[in-house]
Amino acid sequence: MESLYAKLYDKYDKLKKRKLSEMDDIHRDQEEKFLNYVRAAEELIQHLKSENDKLNAEVNELRSEVASIMSSKDKQCVEYQKLLIEESQKYKALSDEVTRLQNRHEEGRIKGGRRDIIPTVSPGSAQVAPQSVSGNSTRMMTRKRRRNSAAETEDSIVSPGSANRKVATLSAFTEELPEKALSSEVLAHAQLVWPQLSISLLKRCYSFSLTWINKTSGEEAELVYRVLSLGTFERVAPEWMRDVIMFSTNMCPIFFERLARVIKLHC
């Protein structure tokens, strides 16, 4: 029995040693693999750190570049705003100068012309419909023109037919305005105080005046357009609607046609 036990013990001891040896081999393999994984992870971490540093450097460089561009753009914007203000001031000064010269030119034409007749429609002023201006209620008045000397005075008297023709001409203009410039939803209001006709578009609060200017030597009379109020057209009105315009009576259809385009575009 003892020999049998000894044999069994030897087998057990050999099997145990073999298993322990196999376990040691497995542990060594696992340890080597683990060490390899650790080394690979450290290398990857180091690579990612270097890439992160590079990206941070690029981001900082881009930030500084963007800040520099924004600073230069801000400076340019300030310069452009200054230039815009300067140009606006120059344009306003030029516009004021043009208006002043136009007014002076108009005053010179009025003083040089023979404007001795003041036909009026009823005492003071008359309200007329957009489609017609009555010429039957006109009456003749004579105005004294004072010269350099108070003793020198002349009275000019013109036949009623001439005055009625002028009023009839303005009447034709007021008839042309509703036909060409106004839609059915826009109401017009006209007021005649010779030699000036005031017209307003009640819906848009836009009003202007047409002043009759006589010419000497049988030349064609002229009209002076002045805006009284742009109303709701303040932001959209073109420059010519804001300026003082002088044109002949033959140009009235073109004037009302241009006016009609603006009104119909924004009504």
Tens of pLDDT, residues 43-68: 999 999 999 999 999 999 999 999 99
Q: Which of 6-20, 70-84, 91-105 has the highest average model confidence (pLDDT)?
A: 70-84
Does residue 148 sit within a domain?
A: yes
Does residue 33 sit within a domain?
A: no
Does residue 55 sit within a domain?
A: no
pLDDT band per the 50, 70, 90 thresholds, residue 34: very high
Average pLDDT over residues 2-31: 86
Q: Tokens 């033959």 correspond to what residue? A: 250
pLDDT at 209: 86
pLDDT band per the 50, 70, 90 thresholds, residue 113: low
Q: Is the pLDDT of residue 184 over 50?
A: no
Give yes or no for a contact between 167 and 140, defined as CB atoms under 8 angstroms apart: no
pLDDT at 255: 84
Q: Is the pLDDT of residue 100 over 80?
A: yes
Does residue 143 sit within a domain?
A: yes
127: containing domain = 114-266
pTM of the model: 0.37
User: Between 225 and 189, whose confidence is greater?
Assistant: 225
How far is C-alpha 72 from the geometric centre of its chain's CA atoms? 27
Measure the CA angle with vertex 120, ends 228 and 114; round to 5°. 85
Average pLDDT of the residues of the chain = 73
Q: Quick one: CA torsion of 166, 172, 174, 180, rounded to 10 degrees?
A: -150
Tens of pLDDT, residues 141-181: 333 333 333 333 333 333 444 445 555 555 555 555 545 55
- Counting residues of the chain whose pLDDT is more than 90, the rounded percentage is 22
Does residue 118 sit within a domain?
A: yes
Cα 245 to Cα 99: distance, rounded to the nearest angstrom: 10
Number of domains in the chain: 1
Average pLDDT over residues 15-34: 90
Average pLDDT over residues 63-77: 93
Average pLDDT over residues 63-92: 91
pLDDT band per the 50, 70, 90 thresholds, residue 120: very low
Does residue 39 sit within a domain?
A: no
Q: CB within 8 A of 198, min separation 6: which ones? A: 190, 191, 192, 207, 208, 209, 228
Does residue 66 sit within a domain?
A: no
pLDDT at 135: 37
Does residue 168 sit within a domain?
A: yes
